[in-house]
Structure formats: structure tokens, C-alpha cells
Amino acid sequence: MKKIELLAPVGSMESLYAAINNGADAVYLGGKLFNARHYASNFSDEDLREAIEYAHNRNVKVYITLNISIKNSELEELRRYLKFLDEIGPDALIVQDLGVINIIKSEFPNLILHGSTQMTINNSYGVNFLKELGFERIVLARELSIDEIEKIKRETDAEIEVFVHGALCVSYSGQCLMSSIIGGRSGNRGRCAQTCRMPFTLRDENSQEDIVLDGKYILSTKDLNSIENIGKLIDIGVDSFKIEGRMKKPEYVALIVNKYRKAIDAHLYKKEEIDDDDLEDIRKIFNRGFTKGFLGKESGRDYISLDKPNNRGTYIGRAIEFRNNRTKIKLKYELNKGDGLNADNIDGSEDFFNVDKIFINGKERDNALKGQYVEIMTYRPIKKNAKLYKTYDKELYSRIREEYMGEKDIDRKPISFEAELKIDKKPVFKARCNDLEVIATGEDLVERARKSGLSRDRIIEQLSKLNDTVFKFSGFTGDIDKNIFLPISTINSIRRELVEKMNIALEKREKEDRRISFSDYENIEIDYEYKKTILSIYIDKFEILKRLDFSKLDRLYLRYGEYLNDAFEYLKSIDNKDFEIFISLPRIIGDGEFLKIEESITKFKEYIDGIMIGNTGSLKFLKDRFPDINIRTDYSLNIYNTEAIQFLYNNGIIGNTLSTELNLNEIEDISNTIESDMEVIGYGYLKLMTMKNSPISLIEDCKISSSDSKYELVDRKDMKFPLLRQGNITTVLNSKILFIPEYIDSLKEKKISSIRLEFYREDELIEDIQDLYYQIIKKGMDRNRIENFVIDKKLKDSITKGHYNRGVE
């Protein structure tokens, strides 16, 4: 039977012990550098070494997270870190940055790779692209249904990992700039400020009327809970089940791992089933409300935690009155001294406090039961009718520490011993585990016993004392003279030596088994010479196309869509067309969409100069179906460094759009290191989130059209973020327009090959913006013209420089 891996989150050594002792087959954890949980405790280098040794001695794998975008200035530090990881032997690295992949393939070929969910792999082409690169496993995007995962699994022999429990990102992972743009803390760098957990209002963009969801947590997802779908996921062939929670407490890790271990074993081995008590414990330990997510095809109000962005806990009742520092409640749930409570007030405010005194009929008690009237000391006023929730259950945590947190029996490795004990010769012992053999020889000679000799049973008794090791005694054979004497301390010392040698031999074997080869991988010299900076324009609808001045344009990107027929008919009528045309594919493409895309590219292939892609799945698709077509990349691939550019060039890409999170100095660092065709975004609403679940679906009885949304999200500062609906994907656009004409000369000095304007909406300034940027690119900066333009068009409060000045942490 195929082994199903249960993969647990580990943010500390205590969580590591909790995960392993409760049935995790593997753990994932981060070092102090380059991982997507920057604010977790994480592991020092020595901690990593210790964690790997501890886990490997218990037959548990360790995956190191290296899943952030890496700045060019960090590449040398990255290489030093990779060298250290190569030495300590983790079972795999979880990566997302294409530059990291390039360095590992070129310089550290023995490190095994897993593709992070940050890579936005949501189709079989993306999985097979990474498989061909030598990836052992791919962590799929969390937006896939069970049916879609099953189809992907049929199309690949790569290992597939699926998130099954914990916090969800509302945006496709790797496609969120919300925290980055608003606060400079990039989720792609492991520093997400969780802007999605803030309240927003959904507003009609035309009427400016607030929808019913005023001030709700429109982007705050419920927590994923897939325990009831574990059997289905096993049956379709998922290889690894991943639990989220590297920033959670060890008690959380212990409980959730324990329950999922139980669910997996129940399906595989017909063991004890998950029951209501198990489900209740899962709910009590932490929840924002639970959803089955897209695995269960849930969306809208089933997916979003509208009323609260944090732990809901267990509802225990409403405040009846507050008097003399006491709040009176009729309990809907048991309450214990030491529990933690959260009061949700009618005005939307919250109060958090610990229960240190409980009174029933004026007498202090340690606990109270459901249905009883109690008074609890709250010291500050709790408003009448406030809802009270238990967010920390003292009894549950005590039970977890007692039942789950202690050292459990581990899956020990069988070890057998053999001895040659001859009088007047040194004792020779051998140990065998699997097909490995180690030998230890004593320093003192075996003597003839003066009285009773050393018995075979006594030798076995000493050799089988393996409780503090990962081994279990499985047998003994020996060539032993009669009536011999050998000190017990010598046998014990030899046993310890054999165990140590066997551990070393097993670790060496594990490293050899993990070794793979990229010996045929080498970087291709980039064939590019900068000549000039050009103007490119991206559009997503036919109406915008008709407003462009084609004499002031060098490259045109047409978003893939139904309007392409009209667009190409219109473009055919243009005389003396002197600009490139690229079709821009969506950044999110399901397996079922590629056939239509193939038909469109085939239809228009003779009229285009190439394709712009937004994910690696599209790259694989084009290389398979259209091997001779020119391919450029969009900024959704998060290109941060020269190694990523080299990687993409190795894979046939002719030009790349740099990440919008880079500042001017970081762009210069790249351009000084590598000469290649690089594009940057110069104007437009940046895409802050790419979502499968639309906020519009929260409106009851709402019918979502495939046209542009007429809604916007409004935050507490009254900043408006337009929603763009295309197909089954919703994009949150920035509240301000990126506008950087004064940086064009600097970008030209940095040999940026193209500056792109993006027009998603019917902007009344399209013609003026195109002319302004074109003139500056061709003739140089005119500061007075720019300043007058901003004043005349009343742009001061609606534009931003993005990250060109500040960059991200």
C-alpha cells in the first residue's frame, strides 16, 4: 500500500516534538533566513541541524522552507545558506523563486526541490514543467477542487501535496501585493501584514452606494478544515497532506496532527474513525469558522469569515448585565477558571480577558456548566448583549499536554547483533540494520572466567538496552568460547559504539539515496544587446484598442479574451503597422482552458510576434504546442534577481517584466549584473490580489457576469480598490494609479528595454497618457510638462510611485 504522508508545521523545537510524537511523517520548518514566515520563531543553523537529526532518527522527513523572493543583493548570502543546507541534509527545500531554482540546479544539484504553493501551480502543465526540471514534489494552489486535483494527478507522476487544514490566503499565493503596496511589507518576502484581515466595505462603483456588507471582513477567509475529505483525497492519489500553522502553539500542532493521523489511518487501515469529540476539539483549539474550501467547492459566505477575522472560539452566551466589575451570563457552554474570553460588543469593538473568578449565586467556583447563570470578573465594563466567546480553553490545553505532548513510542528500526568472543582475543561485535553492517572491537582481551562464565542471555540483555535510541533489538548470533569473562561495562560501551556507527551509516545512506543529478544543466549565454527603450501598452478590451495612437507605440499586449476576433480585424486594417503584437495569457489558467487558448493562438499566430505569460504552466504549454513562438513574461512571475532572468532565458524566454516590488536601486543592481531584455510597469492600476472567490459573491442572490465588475472595496481610510472580474477570476486593483514619467530617464540609463502602460478600464486620459510617456521616452524628461500635466488633469491625489522609491522589506 502506498504511504500517505502527513506533513506538519513546525515553528519551534517544542512544535517539532509535538508533531513527531503525534504521527507526522514529515515536518516543514524555516531557518532564520529566506522563508515565508518571517515573524515566526524559526530555527538557527544549529537548531536546524538538531531538528534534522532528531527527526531522521525517528524516520521523519524534514523540509526546509526557502519560499520567498530573493533580492539580487542577497544572492551571495543565499549561496552560503544553501551550502550549509547541503551539508546538514534536509529531505527537500520548498522553493518559489526561479533564481533560487537556477542556483540550486547549477551549484547544489544534490538538494531535492519541492515547488511551493507560492509558485501558483494550478494545472498539469505547471506540475510537469517542474517535474521535468527535477522537482520531486509540487504543492498545488489551494484554489483547486478535488476533481481538478484528480485530473492533474492523472497527467503526472510527480508527487502532489495538498493543503488540508489551517489559514487560507484569499488571493492565489504568490499573486498578492496588497500588504506590499499598502504597507511595504511583502507577502512574497515572508512579511505579510495580513491586510486581508482588515474590514472593507463593498461599494457600487457607479452609484457610490454601500452594499449590505458595510465594514465587514470581506477578504478574511475562514480556516480550511478538510478532515471529512481525507478519504476522497487519498483515493484520488494525493501523496502528502499539509497542515498550516508554523506560527501556532505546540498544543495546536499536537492536536491537529493527532486528529489527521487518526483520519488517515481510519481510511487506510480501517482503524478508529474520527468522532464528534475529535471535531469539537479541532474547533475549540482554533478556528475562524471552518470551510471545506475549494476542495469542497465552497465560496462566498461559506468561505469568508465576515464578522470576525480572528479566532472565533466557542460561543458561551450574551452579557446580561455588568455590575461591580462582574459580568452576568447564562452559559451556553461550560466555563472554567483560567479560560480566555472575547467579548464582541454591539458597536463592533472587542474586549479580551482571562477568567480568574467565577461566581454562582455569589459563591466563587472553579467551573460552571452549560445552562447556569454565572458572574465573572471582567474589571472593565462589558456592554449589555455583547456576545462572549471562549477563545482559550484551559481544560483542552491541559488535556493536550497530558495526552499528546509526552514522548510517544516511535517507529524504531530493527537492529541485530553478532559477536565473536574468543579467549585471549579482543571481542568483536557486529550490528546489522537493513543491509548495513558496522563493526566494533573492544580494547581488552576476552578472559577465561575464574568462576561462572558470561552467559549468552546476559550478553543479549545488555545489547537489547536500546530504549534511548531509534533501534529495537531483533536478534543475536555469536561464536563464543565456553566459560569466558568480559566486563559488562565493555559490552555496554561496544553497544553504544555500534549504535553511533549505525546512525552515521544510516545518515550517509539517506544522503546517498537523496542524491540526484543535474549534471546536464548549464546556463546559456544571453544573446541580447540593449539599443533603446521602447513604449509598450497592455489593453484588455476592444474599446481601448480603438483609442490608441499606433504611431506612438512599439509593442502592444492584447489580453486573451473573446474580443480578440474584433481586435485583429481592426488591426488588419491599419496601414504601415510598425509595432509588435503579443497576446497576453491569464496568470491563472485551469487545465480545461488550454484547448481554447491553443485554438486562438493557432488562429492568430501569423499576426502576432509572440505570447506573454503569467505562470510556468503556460510556459510548458507553449513549449509543447508552439515551440518556435517568442515568449515574454509578466510581473506575476515575481522576477526579483539576475538568476531568475537567467533561468527563464535557459527555458526559452526572450524578455521579462521585473517585479513591481523592486526599487530603482535594485533594478540598477540587476541591470549592472546582467544585460537582458527587461520591461517594467510605468503606468496603470497594479493588480494587488488575484482571487477565485469574488467579494461580489457575498451579496445574496448576486449573479456575477464575466464583464468588468462595477464594484469596489473601500477600506477604513476611504481608499477605493476597484474590482476587475474576468472569467472566473476577480482582481483587486490598487486604489491609486502608478505614474512615473519622471523616472523614465533613469530607467533608460539602467538599460530597461521597455516601459509598459496598462489600461484595464475606460480611462479618459488614455490618449494623453500615451502621448506623455511616448514623448518622454523618445525625447527625454520635461519636468515642467509633467508637473503641469498632473495639475491640469487633477492627478495629485490619485497617483503613486509604487515601490520605485521605497521598495519592500
On average, the pLDDT of the chain sits at 92
Which has the closest alpha carbon to 47: 76, 84, 2, 8? 84
pLDDT at 205: 87
Q: What percent of the chain shows pLDDT beyond 90?
A: 81
Instruction: Report whether 183 contacts 261 (CB < 8 A).
Output: no
Are the beta carbons of 80 and 34 closer than 8 angstroms?
Answer: no
CB 252 within 8 A of CB 11: no
- Cα–Cα distance, 339 to 316 (Å, whole number): 12
Q: State yes or no: pLDDT of 226 exceeds 60.
A: yes
Strands 428-433 and 413-421: antiparallel
Contact (CB, 8 A) for 136 and 93: no
Q: How much is the pLDDT for 760?
A: 87
More confident residue, 351 or 36: 351
Mean pLDDT, rounded, for 502-517: 72
| Residue range 103-133, pLDDT digits in tens | 999 999 999 999 999 999 999 999 999 999 9
Alpha-carbon span 634 to 636, nearest angstrom:
5
Least confident of 31-40, 335-344, 415-424, 714-723: 31-40
Q: Which pLDDT value is given to residue 676?
A: 97
Q: For residue 657, which phi and psi values (nearest 5 degrees)?
A: -95, 125
Residue 66 pLDDT grade (very low, low, confident, very high; cuts 50, 70, 90):
very high
Output the pLDDT for position 706: 41
Give me the helix-helix angle, 98-107 and 642-650, nearest 10°. 70
The C-alpha cell 448583549 sits at 385
pLDDT of residue 380: 81
pLDDT tens-digit readout, 552-564: 999 999 999 999 9
The residue length of the chain stands at: 809
What pLDDT, on the 0 to 100 scale, is given for residue 376?
94
pLDDT of residue 704: 45
User: Residue 304 has what pLDDT?
Assistant: 94
pLDDT confidence of residue 90 = 96
What is the distance between the alpha carbons of residues 772 and 673, in angstroms, rounded to a whole number?
31
Strand partners, 754: 534, 679
Position 50 scores a pLDDT of 94
pLDDT value for 700? 62
The span from the CA of 284 to the CA of 311, in Å, is 10
As given in the structure block, the three cell numbers for residue 242 are 499539509
Amino acid at site 569:
E
What is the per-residue pLDDT across 675-733, written as a single tens digit (0 to 9) for each?
999 999 999 999 999 999 999 888 765 544 444 448 999 998 999 999 998 888 999 99
- Here the cell at position 664 is 530603482
pLDDT of 34 higher than 90? no
Tell me the Cα Rg of the chain.
31
Rounded-to-integer distance, Cα 435 and Cα 430, Å: 13
Does 653 score more than 90 pLDDT? yes
C-alpha closest to that of 446 among 469, 471, 420, 464: 420
Give the integer Cα–Cα distance in Å for 274 and 258: 11
d(CA 524, CA 529): 15
SS3 240: strand
pLDDT-wise least confident of 196-205, 518-527, 774-783: 518-527
Asked if pLDDT for residue 161 goes beyond 80, the answer is: yes
Grid coordinates 480566555 are at which residue?
A: 340
Give the E-state strand segments of 175-313 in sequence order.
201-204, 223-225, 240-243, 290-291
Decide if pLDDT at 267 tops 80: yes
Q: What is the pLDDT of residue 513?
A: 64
Mean pLDDT of 227-244: 97
Tell me the H-state helices in 57-175: 75-88, 98-107, 124-132, 146-154
Q: Is a pLDDT exceeding 70 seen at residue 787? A: yes
* pLDDT value, residue 36: 60
Sole residue written with cell 544572492: 75
Inform me whether the pLDDT recorded for 515 exceeds 70.
no
Cα 124–Cα 127–Cα 130 angle in degrees, nearest 5: 150
Neighbours of 46 (CB within 10 A): 9
Contact status, residue 523 vs residue 646, Cβ threshold 8 Å: yes
For residue 514, the model assigns a pLDDT of 57
Q: Does residue 600 carry a pLDDT above 60?
A: yes
With a cut of 60, say whether residue 533 has pLDDT above it.
Answer: yes
Helix (H, G, I), strand (E, B) or coil at 721: strand
